[in-house]
Structure 1
Amino acid sequence: MPNRYTELTALGWTEWFDNTAQCGPGDALARVAAVDRDMLLVMDHTGTFRAKLAGSYLHRHSLPQDLPCVGDWVCLEKQPADDIGLIRMLLERRTTLRRRSAGEAVEYQMIAANVDCVFIVQSCHYDFNLRRLERYLVMVRDGGADPCILLTKTDLVGPEVLASQLAQIRSADITAPVLTLSNVTRDGLDELERTLLPARTYCFIGSSGVGKSTIINHLLGRDALRTKGVSGSGEGRHTTVRRELVLLAGGALVIDSPGMREFGIMGAEDGLEENFSAISRLAAGCRYRDCSHTGEPGCAVREALDAGEMSRQQYDSYITLREESEFYRMSHAEKRKKDREFGRFIKSVKKDLDRY
């Protein structure tokens, strides 16, 4: 079936969206480039313009993950003379990048949508953390995007430190591609640029100050995203305040995102299975199908751990992430159940009041 919206191909539109899009008559298509509270910046083949959500859409969708985020495709109404478009529908997402909301709330927070590849950025200097890296990898894989690890600030460490970090990544059974880069010497920048393909969408995530915005500015060839100088320790100072989708001269689309202190996991069973593939393969040999790998007899995972075929760190990381994912998934399901019950209660009260 031919693509009905060939003019949007450069913005990441593919046959997959063409087969799933169901906009209303007269509606146009656009992609979300940024979200500023109740106003969105969207782009189509003519350029960027502002848009807002229709009241009917807000009435039907109350959950945060149901609202458009950067990278989403939307159906909207906009006349040539209008300055602002009116969004009426959110198209189905091909991939998602989300985390458990920071703090006490048991909800998903959308980071980006329809991303092809996510660059997980860590500084070789002070930011490198294998357990945090596994956490990012689980959620990236769970959302369906391809992960790539980007180690920055290589000019601040010796070759032996970088080699040790690369060895730690491979010893943890992490199979994602790894790139290294220095924003100062620009070593590795050409290789990164060759990785970015036209009409594909890439998102850069990581802690504050690891150089995400500086990297994108290098790729753009201009200071489109604000950055600050490094501190006395050589670490950057966080300045990105919103997620934003930008189009590079070479045709790739990239999303910068604010640094994240927390990256909570919730309901990420698929991501866990894919990221810890060695443990998943061993689990197929457990005596019980619902084995928790924490003490049951006939557990192939524990047997491999006891035989030294798996590191204690890798096992502990898997168990910790799995238990966190399951705990918050159950909490989220319970919250949704209570919300539905409360909604039915309110409706019944309204019906009773209407009788009088």
Structure 2
Amino acid sequence: MTDTALRTLGWDAERDAAFASYAARGLTAGRVGRVDRGRFEVLVDRDGALTTVHAHARTSVDGFVEDQPATGDWVALDADVITEVLPRRTLIMRSSAGKSSAGQVMAVNVDTVLIAVPLEREAKVAQLERFVTVAWQSGARPLVALTKADLVDADEAGLALTRAQEVSPGVDVVVVSASTGEGLDALRARLGTTAALVGQSGAGKSTLVNALAGSDVMATQATRQDGKGRHTTTARELVALPGGGVLIDTPGLRGVGVHDANDGVAQSFSDIETLADQCRFADCAHESEPGCAVRDAVETGTLAERRIVAYRKQLREVERETRAKHRARR
């Protein structure tokens, strides 16, 4: 499959090898480009060009009901039926709404999780921290885009950039404007082969997708007068970018819950984890213990108190979810 058009979507030698047994059975390789209410649009190679197949999933496959195909999946098709899902390299999950311990798949097989944060209104720092945790847990690399830079002055943008960098240690943060083109080249250079775009409603995600794609591939709406976003994107959709690579747009979220994310929390709060290694006691709770490097950092002003609060909150959320999963298993 050396010359397959799927290579523009990220197909490579490793996936070629993984698909060999399915090819021998006469199945067709494809990538899920859109999932909407149980219906799947799959991009396949037809005579060297990408073609969309409207497919459905064969639920008799072992484990398939619990692990439905998601946007970004590489699959094997028998005519218009998805029969197999190739192994996933990364998986973006968030907690489901309500009390369920099950998670919700946002996108799979991405290199970069692009987190859109609007500059024209005050950023919700705690929400950004949660998105960063979800991104690290996925196995992909987080990337923060501070959008709508044309709507604020340079001082406001600089302050927001500093704040975002403080709460996203080890993460690239880029100030962008889809309208003027500011920062778009820097963003493109960091996207990787497949990027998933996530963020709150009204963050300008669809406008950013159009700017990166070079055409109006996504509908856009103005932000409501009360500052809350509108849900322009209603389904997770894969968009091919000029020159190769893809961007997966996801619906805007009012909030995001961390799911099964111990490793993600540790990476998201790597500043605290690094300090914790210097505490006198290995089981230090960072409250009133002597020789606590974390409390010392707070008292000297090198670590914000709210970072500790957010860190503990996310850990408690992960612990609650773990207990709920154990109860569900029993």
TM over 0.5: yes
In the other structure, the counterpart of 1:30 is: 30
- 2:284 aligned with 1:276, yes or no? no
Aligned equivalents of 1:6 and 1:69: distance in 2? 25
In the other structure, the counterpart of 2:146 is: 151
Amino acid at match of 2:15: F
Aligned equivalents of 2:246 and 2:199: distance in 1? 18
8 Å Cα contact 1:116/1:145 also seen in 2: yes
Shift of 1:289: 4.4
In the other structure, the counterpart of 1:81 is: none
Q: Give deviations 1:188-221, integer Å, cap 9, x for gaps.
A: 3343344445xx1111111111111111122333
In the other structure, the counterpart of 1:73 is: 74
- Evaluate the alpha carbon distance shift between residue 243 and residue 294 of structure 1 in structure 2; reply closer, same or farther with a 3 A threshold: same
Q: Give deviations 1:18-59, integer Å, cap 9, x for gaps.
A: 4555754322221110112232100122221111111312x6
Aligned equivalents of 1:174 and 1:298: distance in 2? 24
More divergent stretch after superposition (122-131 vs 287-296)? 287-296
Which of 59, 64, 87 pairs up with 1:61?
64
The correspondence of residues 47-58 of structure 1 with structure 2, limited to 5 A, is 47-57=51-61
- 2:249 aligned with 1:256, yes or no? yes
Aligned equivalents of 1:127 and 1:22: distance in 2? 51
8 Å Cα contact 1:173/1:278 also seen in 2: no
- Evaluate the alpha carbon distance shift between residue 234 and residue 37 of structure 1 in structure 2; reply closer, same or farther with a 3 A threshold: closer
8 Å Cα contact 1:156/1:234 also seen in 2: no
Q: How many residues align?
A: 323
The correspondence of residues 174-213 of structure 1 with structure 2, limited to 5 A, is 174-196=169-191, 200-213=193-206
Q: Give deviations 1:203-257, integer Å, cap 9, x for gaps.
A: 1111111111111122333322111234457876331111100112221201111
SS of equivalent to 1:134: helix
% identity of equivalent residues:
36
- 2:241 aligned with 1:243, yes or no? no
Unpaired runs of 5+ residues, structure 2, are none
In the other structure, the counterpart of 1:170 is: 165
The correspondence of residues 121-132 of structure 1 with structure 2, limited to 5 A, is 121-132=116-127
Higher-Rg member (1/2): 1
Aligned equivalents of 2:8 and 2:312: distance in 1? 42
Pairwise CA RMSD: 2.4
Amino acid at match of 2:207: T
In the other structure, the counterpart of 1:352 is: none
Shift of 1:288: 5.1
Aligned equivalents of 1:22 and 1:106: distance in 2? 36
Aligned equivalents of 2:122 and 2:77: distance in 1? 42
8 Å Cα contact 1:29/1:75 also seen in 2: yes
In the other structure, the counterpart of 1:215 is: 208
TM-score of the pair, normalised by structure 2: 0.88
Shift of 1:291: 4.4
8 Å Cα contact 1:210/1:235 also seen in 2: no
Aligned equivalents of 1:190 and 1:296: distance in 2? 48
